[in-house]
Amino acid sequence: QVQLVESGGGLVQAGGSLRLSCAASPRTFAPFPMAWFRQAPGKEREFVAAISLSGSSTNYADSVKGRFTISRDNAANTVYLQMSSLEPEDTAVYYCAGGLWSLARGVSEYVYWGQGTQVTVSS
């Protein structure tokens, strides 16, 4: 059974940066396309960024394009989300997800989910 564990969330002031990590286990499991989603209180879970199996292709939501960067280290079975120029509107629980379709943007297209990590941006 694949497990995804996020880390790196926290409280940051507007304009600041955070880097989220998502470690997949078991380590021997073959890599798969990955993505980050987020969910703010009272809102639906929304797509943030996706990365292909090799890491050569990425896809971003318009709201984070130019501020967030998704990357991966397949040797370490880890995916990252570097977040810069954070805004209060970025406050949410951030989830990593693993799926079968590269660069997919829909929640239903992902099979594996982490437990989430809270990101809070103060104004």
- Taking only the tens place, the pLDDT of each residue in 15-51 is 999 999 999 987 656 678 999 999 999 999 999 999 9
Q: Cβ distance 61 to 49 under 8 Å?
A: yes
- Tell me which residue of 79, 85, 60 sits closest to 117, measured CA to CA: 79
pLDDT, one tens digit per residue, over 54-89 is: 999 999 999 999 999 999 999 889 999 999 999 999
Rounded Cα gap, residues 123 and 76, in angstroms: 35
Angle (nearest 5°) at CA 64 between 95 and 53: 55
pLDDT of residue 118: 98
- Rounding to the nearest 10 degrees, give the CA dihedral for residues 45, 25, 17, 14: 30
CA distance 123 to 105: 29
123 vs 27, residue with greater confidence: 123
> In whole angstroms, what is the distance from residue 44 CA to residue 107 CA?
10
